[in-house]
Structure 1
Amino acid sequence: MAGVRTSLRRSAPALLIFAAIRALGLVTLILWSHAKGKDPHQLLSARWDSLWYVRVAEHGYDFTLTAPDGRVLSDMAFFPLLPWLEQGVSAISPLGFADSGLLVSALASLFAAWAIFLIGDLLHGRRVGITLVALWGMLPVGIVQSMAYSESLFVALSAWSLYWVLRQRWVAAGILASPAGLTRPVGLAVVAALWVAAACQLARRNGDWRAAANRRMVIGAVLAPLGCAGYVVWVGLERGSLFGYLDVQAEWGNGFDGGVAFAGFILDRLTGPAFLAGAGLLIGVAVAAWAYYLCVKQRQPAALLVYCGIVVGLALCASGYFGSKPRLLMPAFPLLLPPAVWVARARVGVIVAVLSAVSVGSAVYGAFWLNGSGPP
Structure 2
Amino acid sequence: MSTSSVPRPEPAAPSGPRRCPTLPRIARRGVPEGALPALVFFTAVRLAGLLAVILTNALRGRPLVRNLAHSWDSRWYLHIATHGYGRLIDVTPGGAVQTDWAFFPLYPALIRALTTVLPVTPGQSALLIAWAAAVAAAYGVYAVGHRLYGRGVATALVALWAVLPHAVELTIAYTESLFAALAAWSLYCVLRGRWLWAGGLAALAGLSRPSGFAVAVAVCLAAAHEAVRQRGRVPASLWAGALLAPLGWLGYVLWVGGRTGDLLGGYLRVQSAWNSRFDLGAGALHFLKALLLHGGVFVYPAALVIVAAAVLLFALLCLERAPLALVAFSGVLILLVVGGSGSFSSKPRFLLPAFPLLIPMARALVRTWRRRPAQALLVLGALTATSLLFGAYVLVVAHSPL
Task: Tell me the TM-score normalized by structure 2.
Answer: 0.89
Please point out which of 244, 254, 259 is paired with 1:238. 259
Q: How does 1:11-30 map to 2 (within 5 A)?
A: 11-30=35-54
The 3-state SS of whatever aligns with 2:90 is strand
Q: How many residues align?
A: 372
Counterparts of 1:251 and 1:358, CA distance in 2 = 37
Q: How does 1:1-376 map to 2 (within 5 A)?
A: 1=25, 5=29, 7-62=31-86, 63-209=88-234, 214-242=235-263, 243-274=265-296, 280-347=302-369, 348-371=373-396, 372-376=398-402
User: Could you give the per-residue CA deviations for residues 193-221 of structure 1, whole angstroms, max 9, x where no partner exists?
Assistant: 01111111111111234xxxx20101111
Q: CA deviation at 1:30?
A: 1.1
Q: What residue identity is the alignment partner of 2:57?
A: S
More off after superposition, 229-238 vs 104-113: 229-238
Counterparts of 2:279 and 2:26, CA distance in 1 = 49
User: Could you give the per-residue CA deviations for residues 53-108 of structure 1, whole angstroms, max 9, x where no partner exists?
Assistant: 00100111112111222110000000000000000110111111111000000000
Counterparts of 1:191 and 1:282, CA distance in 2 = 27
Q: 1:319 to 1:196 in 2, by over 3 A?
A: same
User: Could you give the per-residue CA deviations for residues 146-187 of structure 1, whole angstroms, max 9, x where no partner exists?
Assistant: 101000000000110000001111011111111100000111
Counterparts of 1:230 and 1:275, CA distance in 2 = 39
Given that residues 128 and 344 in structure 1 are in contact (C-alpha distance below 8 angstroms), is that contact kept between their aligned partners in structure 2? yes
Counterparts of 2:352 and 2:274, CA distance in 1 = 21
User: Could you give the per-residue CA deviations for residues 309-340 of structure 1, whole angstroms, max 9, x where no partner exists?
Assistant: 00111012111122101111111111111001
More off after superposition, 8-17 vs 348-357: 348-357
Structure 2 portions without partners, runs of 5+: 1-24
Counterparts of 2:298 and 2:44, CA distance in 1 = 32
Given that residues 267 and 278 in structure 1 are in contact (C-alpha distance below 8 angstroms), is that contact kept between their aligned partners in structure 2? no
Q: What residue identity is the alignment partner of 2:329?
A: Y
Q: CA deviation at 1:346?
A: 2.0
Q: CA deviation at 1:11?
A: 1.2
Counterparts of 2:359 and 2:28, CA distance in 1 = 24
Q: What residue identity is the alignment partner of 1:142?
A: A
Counterparts of 1:281 and 1:143, CA distance in 2 = 14
Given that residues 303 and 347 in structure 2 are in contact (C-alpha distance below 8 angstroms), is that contact kept between their aligned partners in structure 1? no
Counterparts of 2:60 and 2:152, CA distance in 1 = 39
Q: What residue identity is the alignment partner of 2:250?
A: A
Given that residues 53 and 78 in structure 1 are in contact (C-alpha distance below 8 angstroms), is that contact kept between their aligned partners in structure 2? yes
Counterparts of 1:39 and 1:287, CA distance in 2 = 34
Q: CA deviation at 1:39?
A: 1.8
The 3-state SS of whatever aligns with 1:139 is coil
Q: What residue identity is the alignment partner of 1:56?
A: I
Q: CA deviation at 1:356?
A: 2.2
Counterparts of 1:360 and 1:4, CA distance in 2 = 36
Task: Tell me the TM-score normalized by structure 1.
Answer: 0.95
Q: CA deviation at 1:46?
A: 0.8
Q: 1:118 to 1:273 in 2, by over 3 A?
A: closer
Counterparts of 1:255 and 1:97, CA distance in 2 = 30
Given that residues 307 and 348 in structure 2 are in contact (C-alpha distance below 8 angstroms), is that contact kept between their aligned partners in structure 1? no
Q: What residue identity is the alignment partner of 1:101?
A: A
**% of aligned pairs identical?**
40
Counterparts of 1:20 and 1:338, CA distance in 2 = 24
Given that residues 270 and 276 in structure 1 are in contact (C-alpha distance below 8 angstroms), is that contact kept between their aligned partners in structure 2? no
Q: CA deviation at 1:224?
A: 0.9
Q: 1:346 to 1:273 in 2, by over 3 A?
A: closer
The 3-state SS of whatever aligns with 1:360 is helix
The 3-state SS of whatever aligns with 2:336 is helix
Counterparts of 2:161 and 2:134, CA distance in 1 = 10
Q: What residue identity is the alignment partner of 2:183?
A: S
Given that residues 343 and 401 in structure 2 are in contact (C-alpha distance below 8 angstroms), is that contact kept between their aligned partners in structure 1? no
Q: What residue identity is the alignment partner of 2:288?
A: I
Counterparts of 1:349 and 1:6, CA distance in 2 = 32
Structure 1 portions without partners, runs of 5+: none
Q: What residue identity is the alignment partner of 1:20?
A: A
